[in-house]
Structures are given as C-alpha cells and as structure tokens.
Amino acid sequence: MGRENGGILPPQVIQGMTLSRLLQALVRNHLQVDAACLGRLAHLIVLGVFNSIYGGCEKLFNGRDIDSVAIGQPPLFVIGHWRSGTTHLHNLLSCDENLACPTAYQALFPHHFIFSQAGGMVFNLLAPRTRPMDNVAFSSDAPHEDEFALAAMCGVSPYMRVLFPRTGDPGYSELNPDLIPPEALQSWKESLVLFVKKLTLSEGRRAALKSPPHLGRVRTLLEIFPQAQFIHIVRDPYTVYLSTHRLWRETFGRCHLQVPDAGLVDEIILSWHNELFSLFERDRPLIPEGALHEMKFEDLENSPLETLESAYRELGLSGFASFRGRVLTYLSSVSDYRKNEFSMEEATREKVALRWRATFERYGYPP
C-alpha cells in the first residue's frame, strides 16, 4: 500500500469489494473515472476478482457455520469524528481479552476472512508498516475500522464519496441513514449483522467496533442492537480539522477514482463534521441510561489508565484490573510515537471557529 513504508501494494480505501459490487458503484456514478486514476481502477478490478472467488469459497465451506452463529452480547461501539483519537482508544480496548476488535485483515477482506485467515501473512509482506496519515504501526492483526468492511460488503458508506468525490455516489454515501434508499439501508444493516457474526465465529468474544460514520448512525445501530453501548471521544476541533485534511491528502487522496479540487475536499470536511455531530445530538436521547460514556482525547492522552477505567466504570464493564498490565505494555510500546505537528493560518482558524462553533461550545474547547 506504499513503497515508502515497506509495502508494495498501492493504497485503496475499499479493497474488499467483490467485482459485482465495484461494477454497481461504477454504473451508479456513470462510469466517470479520470484517466489519471485508471491504474487504481485496475487494482480494484483485480482485487474484485480475488474477493469474488474467495468469497464464494467461504460461502461454500464456511457458510453453514456462519449462519448458525448467535450473537451473544451486543457490540461496544467507539464513535467519534475522524482524527479524534478513535484509533488510539480502539487499540487500548484491544488489550481487553473479553473484547474482539476487528483486525485490519478482517475489516479489509470481509467477504472471505474466515476462509482465508492465513492470508494475513501475505498481507503483511505487501502492506505498509505504518499508516500514511499518522505513522501509526500497521499490520494484518492491528485493530481496524469496521467501516471498511461494511463499505466493501454492501457499497453503502461515506467512503463511496472517497472513491467518487465529484459525482458523490448520492444515496449510497450519505451520513444520514434517512437519506439512504430503503433497500440499500436494509443491505447495510444485514452487512453489519453478518460482519459481527463472522467476527464472533472467528474470535468468540464481544465485538468492539470503531467507525467515525457510526457517530451519525446511533439510532440505526440501536434498532439493530438495542442493548449496544457507546464510547464517544472528542478532540480539539482545530487539530481535528488539520489532521483530517492530512488524512484526505495522504490516504484518501491516493484512492480517488476522480480527482477533486482542494475547495471541494475542504467543503466535504467542514460539512461532514457538522452533519455528523448534528445527527449524534439528534440520536443521543435514544441511548439508554448508562450506555454512553464520553471522553476527551486530551484526557486519554494525559491520563490513559484513569480515563479508560472511568469509561469501564460508567458503562458497567468488568475486568479492567485483569488487563491493566497489558494496557501499560501497549502504552510503553508506543511511548516513542510522535504525533504530527500542525500550524494554522489565521484565516483558516476563523473559518473553522465559525463553521464548527457548536462543537467548540458543546465540548468546551476555546475557539
């Protein structure tokens, strides 16, 4: 996914799609692929054939076992805007042996990871050692975002907008579930349940899922899993804005099938933020008492044990003491990690303060 980090595969945000799913998305977007992006399309086509064949093998050899899985405990959802610290929190939760956080291989190849689990070794030879937007360590077994799995399984995700930033894939890239066609939304719900069942079969533990778009889907998630629990993490909006721009530039920008101009990307970042938080505030009252814990990234960074223990206590989760040592080991392993440093021009600062005023006020960050 990036030669500079040791990998040889070109990056792609939804590399788990089958060929049929890819072709459906292309047709919806009127086959509009820029000439500069044809190599990326060829890469997706090759992966689509691979995923289709291996997905068929999984249905044949593992389908009965998957269908028979009963989901025990409902998932624990980590929610928060992109670049708010969701990955760090998810990595900390992965230290809990009672939780199953999807791995990169499981999330990126959801159609067949049960059948092709040994493929993780090949994945590590081809993939980069770190993520391009923040240099966080990356491997096949690293905790990863289930949004990539859902996008690949049903073609419904804001990440479809990453593939088609100009045409936008309307109806399939919406943050608001109410704007998704009913049959597509039903497919999304079924994909989430299937992914959790496959994760349960593979790991045998409660699923701990992490996806920024889930911030706008709380109502839908509760319709599927009424007893689900949520940890919401927030971060200084200025840092979120600059870091999200880096995400689009260093990761999403290498995956587009259409090349957008800078103004379009900036507007997507600004508007998605407001829509996500507006949807979350709409749905917040639906969360049962004791099923939501909110934290700030700055608190998690400065006092990780205390902040994580507080989340476990408020949500009624047991076993924190038993994996406290593993948390300390993980924190020691990333003690040399250095975050990206950003600078912001005054005009940009004023724009973010104006557009994201509600977030500054709601979570007590100085504008």
Measured in whole angstroms, the distance separating CA 146 from the mean position of its chain's CA atoms is 5
259 phi and psi, to 5 degrees?
-90, 115
Q: Strand (E) positions, 183-323?
A: 206-210, 229-234, 292-296
pLDDT confidence of residue 4: 42
* Distance of alpha carbon 273 from alpha carbon 277, whole angstroms: 6
Q: What is the pTM of this model?
A: 0.93
Q: Which token pair is 312?
A: 């476990």
Q: Strand (E) positions, 31-165?
A: 76-79, 99-100
Q: Which token pair is 141?
A: 């077994």
Closest alpha carbon to 80 in 244, 324, 195, 227: 244
Q: 267 and 273 in contact (C-beta within 8 Å)?
A: no
* Distance of alpha carbon 79 from alpha carbon 200, whole angstroms: 20
* Distance of alpha carbon 48 from alpha carbon 45, whole angstroms: 5
Mean pLDDT (10-residue bins), the chain, 367 residues = 47 90 98 97 96 97 97 97 97 97 95 84 58 57 94 98 98 98 98 98 97 98 98 98 96 95 98 98 98 98 97 96 95 79 90 98 97
Q: 315 and 102 in contact (C-beta within 8 Å)?
A: no
Closest alpha carbon to 119 in 15, 255, 12: 15
How distant, in Å, are the alpha carbons of 56, 88, 134, 322 from that of 339? 42, 12, 7, 29
pLDDT confidence of residue 125: 59
* 252-22-55-8 Cα dihedral, nearest 10 degrees: -40
> Helices 262-283 and 346-355 sit at what angle, rounded to 10 degrees?
30
Q: Which amino acid would we find at residue 212?
A: P
Non-local (6+) Cβ contacts of 326 within 8 A are: 95, 96, 97
pLDDT confidence of residue 10: 60
What are the residue ranges spanned by the domains of the chain? 3-363
pLDDT confidence of residue 342: 75
pLDDT confidence of residue 162: 97
Q: Which amino acid would we find at residue 121?
A: M
pLDDT confidence of residue 179: 98
DSSP conformation class of 162: H
pLDDT confidence of residue 73: 95
Q: 3-363: CATH homologous superfamily?
A: P-loop containing nucleotide triphosphate hydrolases (3.40.50.300)
Tokens 């440093």 — which residue?
Answer: 341
